[in-house]
Chain A
């Protein structure tokens, strides 16, 4: 078998899933226990051990916006979600996928707790005291140094957002790498790595200017793994302000 297996497995099974008008998930205790085990191995790292969310969205809700029915849920488990950090799980068998989906659905039966805090006050802190818009954008407005936050409430839990504000280095998105390149002649440049291969590297600096270097022209490439250019807000915002800011960020979702 080849490396490309995962992609193809995904498309095969999704095809199979899509041909079934009504998909029923298994519901025996043994299936749910097996589903929970698989969830712990494949899903909990991002979605939390009980589906409470983290790097990935919380799953303890009755309706999952991207998985309105069981067929869609199975397809997501199998394929992942393109353009997001959600990978597929092509190694799971059809039965394992269904068991995992059944466990995910069982999480939605737990009553959902609302995110505490005041969304309006949080938006004011975002634009004002927090200065977040200098680096982040929401719906086309703001800076370009940090990730766009227009729908950040879809993908991150409130707890994860809070942690990422006080400890940004612990919440660096996948593929987000700060790099400083030192040319053999000319000034150094620090920015986000936007592309790299064996021969060249491309960066974007804090104001959105792009740079491209041949590696043969560089004396050094310093990769700052796990580091974020974002400052910590620990001690900069009062606890209540932090709660409001998180409430605002958690409210940023796709327009319905």
Chain B
């Protein structure tokens, strides 16, 4: 009977794809769908589904697998809408898959120029959907709109010139009638920005430059002309607070990465969280995590909007475990620092002052000979998602305990060429390791950890079933969200560099993780 429906009613089924803004805003009313990068606007990557839970997760097994053609790292976070998964695949493919069977419904492939300037492969982290249009940012720094029913191209606009080192890797964010997107290229001396586009026409409506121009406040934090090549990119998806109409978006390292001599000053707005008005792109406030970063500690990871009680008062916070090794809780209305502390070993700062500014250890910066510093350039955590479970109140982060020997080198800018100013050697005297850590939202205090043999480079998702799903190397696993006990694991056979999602289809909950060169979907009988 199901086959019959499939054969005779495909148009009716696909025509149902319609996700107006209100559905994303009210995503908690339809917990079986995953409508935006982090499921809802909060960035919590929390699934309210509980069919798979601590009592039965040990029986989780593979439901279907979708192999991908290309071998670039597979970092996508799919969108799940009413029985269809929308997925980006390397190098620049978008697919719609039947969420029950894994069979493809359509495929769109964008051909790429062969002279792209990329630091880290032809990766893509996902899509946005609005109405019946899908949006993704292609590696060559275009923003693409596709008909979600057919994969047919609606429009394709150039965000920036890839020949000057610009690229795009992150999923856009659909807010009201606009598509907001960041960009990448932090190793090429670009000038970062966040853009807002009209969802219907693709017309750019605003641009927030993450490095102020001459005469604008903040430009004085860059020496000479260094602001023109100061990077501060925006390569991971931000979040949105509908109540205050504010978008929060992180920014990346200043350029050149490891040689700060040519850009003395705090280098605003690199390594910041920016609060923006999505209607105009105007900045409401900013908070800089790592002033004058010389370790490549981007702050682009998705922040999390969470509420926590402090001294009997519920405080609306925006929190994250930063790549620089510190956890931060900020007031999301004002950007004021509430609390912060190291969540991994770090040796570059003695702590954070009352305003949240790091107090640097003298000489803890790259040298020509090499300087040993914790954490490594990979950071205490990286671009992949942390997660927050409102039921446990914990913030979960997949951490790296690892040092690097940082070098300072040449810092000569040439358009479209690498502009690193040094790098990092691995420190081999101590074996690095990883852990999933549960932190108190309001303070960052450690509540439990599940130790991992090696650092991970993959994100977490927590669920109402009392679970935290995560990855380490090629293993995908589930922990008890209350205490960190291992409840289930699966060897996927391929390295995992992505975030999990969950969806419901025909009454069954599924868990999704890209691993190696395949999309793996798990379910119960």
Q: Chain A residues in contact with chain B, CB under 8 A?
A: 1-9, 12-13, 37, 41-42, 89-96, 174, 196-199
Are B472 and A2 closer than 8 Å at their CB atoms? no
Given A3-B377, A37-B368, also A91-B119 (CB < 8 A): no
Are A3 and B410 closer than 8 Å at their CB atoms? no
Residues of B within 8 A of A90 (CB): 423
Q: How far does the alpha carbon of A101 sit from the alpha carbon of B194 in the complex, in Å?
A: 40
Are A91 and B407 closer than 8 Å at their CB atoms? yes
Residues of A within 8 A of B409 (CB): 91-93, 96
Given A9-B119, A197-B454, also A91-B368 (CB < 8 A): no
Which residues 407-437 of B sit at the A interface, judged by CB distance below 8 A?
407, 409-410, 412, 417-418, 420-425, 428
10 additional A-B pairs beyond A91-B422, A93-B412, A197-B454, beta carbons within 8 Å, are A1-B296, A3-B457, A9-B420, A41-B407, A91-B423, A93-B409, A94-B418, A95-B410, A197-B475, A198-B473
Given A8-B121, A90-B423, also A96-B257 (CB < 8 A): no
Are B383 and A2 closer than 8 Å at their CB atoms? yes
Q: How far does the alpha carbon of A2 sit from the alpha carbon of B376 in the complex, in Å?
A: 11
Given A8-B120, A41-B407, A199-B489, also A91-B420 (CB < 8 A): yes
Residues of A within 8 A of B451 (CB): 198
Are A41 and B252 closer than 8 Å at their CB atoms? no
Which residues 93-135 of B sit at the A interface, judged by CB distance below 8 A?
117-121
Are A41 and B119 closer than 8 Å at their CB atoms? no
Are B453 and A12 closer than 8 Å at their CB atoms? no
Give the distance to chain B from A254, nearest Cβ to Cβ, in Å: 28
Question: Is residue B328 within 8 Å, beta carbon to beta carbon, of the partner chain?
Answer: no
| 29 interchain pairs, CB-CB under 8 A | A1-B119, A1-B257, A2-B382, A3-B382, A4-B121, A5-B377, A8-B121, A9-B119, A9-B187, A9-B420, A12-B118, A13-B418, A41-B407, A89-B423, A91-B258, A91-B424, A91-B425, A92-B409, A93-B409, A93-B420, A96-B409, A174-B428, A197-B453, A197-B454, A197-B472, A197-B474, A198-B451, A198-B452, A199-B489
Residues of B within 8 A of A198 (CB): 451-454, 472-473, 475
Give the distance to chain A from B435, nearest Cβ to Cβ, in Å: 10
Q: How far does the alpha carbon of A92 sit from the alpha carbon of B409 in the complex, in Å?
A: 7
Residues of B within 8 A of A3 (CB): 377-378, 382, 457
Residues of B within 8 A of A91 (CB): 258, 407, 409, 420, 422-425
Question: Is residue B369 within 8 Å, beta carbon to beta carbon, of the partner chain?
Answer: yes
Give the distance to chain B from A142, nearest Cβ to Cβ, in Å: 29
Ranked nearest first, the 3 interchain pairs of A and B with the lowest CB-CB distance are: A91-B423, A93-B410, A3-B378
Q: How far does the alpha carbon of A6 sit from the alpha carbon of B296 in the complex, in Å?
A: 13
Q: How far does the alpha carbon of A95 sit from the alpha carbon of B409 in the complex, in Å?
A: 10
Question: Is residue B298 within 8 Å, beta carbon to beta carbon, of the partner chain?
Answer: yes
Q: Which residue of B lies closest to A94 (CB)?
A: B417
Question: Is residue B186 within 8 Å, beta carbon to beta carbon, of the partner chain?
Answer: yes
Interface centre among B187, B423, B452, B472 (most CB of A within 10 A): B423
Q: Chain B residues in contact with chain A, CB under 8 A?
A: 73, 117-121, 186-187, 252-253, 257-258, 296, 298, 368-370, 377-378, 382-383, 407, 409-410, 412, 417-418, 420-425, 428, 451-454, 457, 472-475, 489, 491
Q: How far does the alpha carbon of A41 sit from the alpha carbon of B371 in the complex, in Å?
A: 11
Q: Which residue of A lies closest to B187 (CB)?
A: A1
Q: How far does the alpha carbon of A196 sit from the alpha carbon of B383 in the complex, in Å?
A: 25
A-B contact count (CB 8 A): 90
Residues of B within 8 A of A4 (CB): 73, 119-121
Residues of B within 8 A of A96 (CB): 409-410
Give the distance to chain B from A217, nearest Cβ to Cβ, in Å: 14
Q: How far does the alpha carbon of A5 sit from the alpha carbon of B121 in the complex, in Å?
A: 8
Given A3-B378, A5-B120, also A12-B473 (CB < 8 A): no
Residues of A within 8 A of B120 (CB): 1-2, 4-5, 8
Residues of A within 8 A of B428 (CB): 174
Are B118 and A8 closer than 8 Å at their CB atoms? yes
Give the distance to chain A from B234, nearest Cβ to Cβ, in Å: 13
Q: How far does the alpha carbon of A95 sit from the alpha carbon of B377 in the complex, in Å?
A: 23
Residues of B within 8 A of A7 (CB): 121
Q: Which of A1, A13, A37 contacts B253 (CB 8 A)?
A: A1
Residues of A within 8 A of B298 (CB): 1
Q: How far does the alpha carbon of A89 sit from the alpha carbon of B377 in the complex, in Å?
A: 15
Q: How far does the alpha carbon of A96 sit from the alpha carbon of B368 in the complex, in Å?
A: 12
Q: How far does the alpha carbon of A95 sit from the alpha carbon of B417 in the complex, in Å?
A: 12
Q: Which of B119, B368, B489 contacts A8 (CB 8 A)?
A: B119
Residues of B within 8 A of A174 (CB): 428
Q: Which of B258, B425, B453, B457 contacts A196 (CB 8 A)?
A: B453
Are A41 and B368 closer than 8 Å at their CB atoms? yes
Residues of B within 8 A of A196 (CB): 453
Q: How far does the alpha carbon of A13 sit from the alpha carbon of B416 in the complex, in Å?
A: 12
Interface centre among A2, A37, A41, A95 (most CB of B within 10 A): A2
Q: How far does the alpha carbon of A96 sit from the alpha carbon of B256 in the complex, in Å?
A: 15
Q: How far does the alpha carbon of A37 sit from the alpha carbon of B408 in the complex, in Å?
A: 13
Q: Which of A5, A8, A41, A94 contacts B369 (CB 8 A)?
A: A41
Give the distance to chain B from A91, nearest Cβ to Cβ, in Å: 2
Q: Which residue of A lies closest to B383 (CB)?
A: A2
Residues of B within 8 A of A2 (CB): 119-120, 378, 382-383
